[in-house]
Structure formats: C-alpha cells, structure tokens
Amino acid sequence: VQSDYLLSATGLNKNFGGIKAVSNAEIKVNQGSITGLIGPNGAGKTTLFNLLSNFIRPDRGQVIFDHQPIDHLQPHEIAQRGFIRTFQVARVLSKLTVLENMLLATPKQTGENFFQVWLNQSQVRQEERENKQKALGILESVGLIEKAYDYAGALSGGQRKLLEMARTLMTNPKLILLDEPAAGVNPTLINQICEHIINWNRQGITFLIIEHNMDVIMSLCNHVWVLAEGTNLADGTPEEIQTNPDVLEAYLGE
Ligand code: ATP
C-alpha cells in the first residue's frame, strides 16, 4: 500500500556525460524499517542517494517523501521535513569541536533586524541552551561525551562517522540515509554503531543504508534493494537476497 512508504522513488535516471550512473531505478522504504541498498562497486548507489536527497538533480524520475513530492526542494529544506543523510566520507568540520559540529545542525537566526534580534535575545539564548543540552545528551548516548570539547579533527575516522550520525539526530529526523556507516570503522565500533541504529529505529526513525559489509546488512535490515549497473536487480528479505542467483552472479563478476 502506497501509504506504508515513507520514501518512494520511481523512474530515476542520471547520466554523467556518456555514463548511465542510474537508469530507470526505483526504491521504496517502508515506514519504520531498516532498509538496505547494496550492489557491486560503481552500481550507482551513492548517485541514487544523491538523487533521493536532491544533492544532484535527476534527468528524470520522481521522489516522494512522507506523501509529498520533494523534487523541487533544496537538501536543507528536505532536512527540515525530517529526511537527512550522511556521506561516505563523514562531513564533519575538523577545526570545530565535536559539540560545535553537533550544533551546526540547529537552525540559525537569520534575516532579522537588530530590534527583532534584541527582542528575541532571551528566547534565542533559551533555544541555544536547549540545543546544547540536547547535543550533550546525544553525545553521551553514543559514547562521545568525553570528546565534546575536542576538535573533531582529533577523532578517528570511525568516530567521525559516529559524530555525523549523532548530528543527524539534532534535527528530529523521520528518515536517515546512511552511506557506508561501517566502511573503515573498526569491528568494535561497527558493533556499537549497529546497536545505535537498532535503538534509534526502535524510537521510530526509519533507515536506508548503503553498505558493503554484508554482516551489517544481514543483521540490521528488514528489506534489501540490489542495484547493478545503475538499475534494479532485485529486492527482498536479506535471506531472499542472499540466495538470489542474479545477485550472486552480479557480485561474482565484480
Ligand atoms: P561504490 O560502491 O564503489 O561507492 P556506487 O554504487 O556508489 O559505488 P556511484 O558512485 O553512484 O556507485 O557511481 C555510479 C557510476 O557513475 C560509476 O560509473 C561512476 O564512475 C559514475 N559517476 C558517479 N558520479 C559521477 C560524476 N559526478 N561524474 C561522472 N561520473 C560519475
């Protein structure tokens, strides 16, 4: 049923010069699910993420989030509606502290004249206090609280990924797209990241996850979509995908 999908995209196409990066692809993400997106290198997964979150514009196709088309919206407007993403290489600012990176996700006061700002001062301070408390609470819950006042540049690659994920929670998201949360992360931290994802999902957040680590996909996901050469190859439960001959062949050819 259409109304069960938090995210649904159909007929997505993107060419780069002569390369068909994404070709007539579709994906559907059930409300409340942890959905996986897998495929061999160069299959078009990251490009599909960029199309879903409007970081790049599709040549054709439509994306529906929370029952509304979002094709005309900027990524930050999409984020305001509760749809946020992370990147393959975590986008954190190394010369800001971990806490400052968290606060980057909060809305800024803009476009107001001095008098309005003066009137709003105490309200702004109150919001800043609340945002800081919220950020510290999230950092505590992911085990980064002791790093709150360290530069983000001092974190390990895995911790940076965790920080980027933690920051997505500042905007009260309904849907989080994670681009390879386990890549380059040590096994202990991978397990912790998986536990956090399960916890956040229990709290009502839906996930779509690109990941090459099949253990992570198989243990987390309710449903998995497989892309190959820019287009849909299969979708199903992790068990169905694992035994699908077309999927096995696509990976063997890699
Ligand atoms: P990986 O698993 O290796 O990250 P992927 O499935 O995410 O791969 P994409 O990064 O989406 O795949 O790439 C799909 C295809 O599109 C590749 O052939 C890639 O070289 C090409 N491509 C992606 N972005 C661009 C771009 N900006 N300009 C030109 N070609 C691009």
pLDDT at 109: 53
Of 223, 193, 211, nearest to 88 (Cα)?
211
ipTM of the complex: 0.94
Distance CA 17, CA 24 (A): 17
| Average pLDDT score over residue span 71-92 | 91
Distance CA 8, CA 1 (A): 11
**DSSP symbols for 132-171:** HHHHHHHHHHTT-GGGTTSBGGGS-HHHHHHHHHHHHGGG
Residue 157 Cβ contacting ligand 1 at under 6 Å: no
Alpha helices in the chain (DSSP H): 45-52, 75-80, 98-103, 114-141, 157-168, 187-202, 214-220, 238-242, 245-252
Residue 14 Cβ contacting ligand 1 at under 6 Å: no
pLDDT at 90: 84
Residue 41 Cβ contacting ligand 1 at under 6 Å: yes
| Residue among 16, 49, 53, 179 whose CB has most ligand 1 atoms within 8 A, to mutate | 16
pLDDT at 201 over 90: yes
Phi, psi of 58 (to 5 degrees): -75, 155
Both structure tokens of 200: 């956040």
pLDDT at 216 over 90: yes
pLDDT at 3: 58
pLDDT at 168: 95
CB 84 within 8 A of CB 168: yes
Distance CA 78, CA 8 (A): 14
Of 242, 197, 239, nearest to 222 (Cα)?
239
Q: What percent of the chain has pLDDT over 70?
A: 95
CB 5 within 8 A of CB 225: no
| Average pLDDT score over residue span 188-216 | 96
The protein residue with its alpha carbon nearest to ligand 1, atom 26, reads 16
Residue burial 216-240, b: 16+ Cβ < 10 Å; e: rest = bbbebbebbbbbbebbebbbeebee
Q: For all residues of the chain together, what is the average pLDDT?
A: 91
Q: Residue 55 class from Cβ within 10 Å (0-12 exposed, 13-18 middle, 19+ buried)?
A: middle
The protein residue with its alpha carbon nearest to ligand 1, atom 10, reads 46
pLDDT at 1: 45
118 pLDDT band, cuts 50/70/90, is confident
The protein residue with its alpha carbon nearest to ligand 1, atom 29, reads 16
| Average pLDDT score over residue span 14-28 | 95
* Ligand 1 atom with least separation from CA of 22: 14
pLDDT at 141 over 60: yes
| Average pLDDT score over residue span 71-87 | 92
Distance CA 137, CA 234 (A): 40
Q: Which residue has the higher pLDDT, 111 or 70?
A: 70
* Ligand 1 atom with least separation from CA of 44: 11
Q: Residue 35 class from Cβ within 10 Å (0-12 exposed, 13-18 middle, 19+ buried)?
A: buried
Distance CA 62, CA 24 (A): 11
| Average pLDDT score over residue span 195-207 | 97
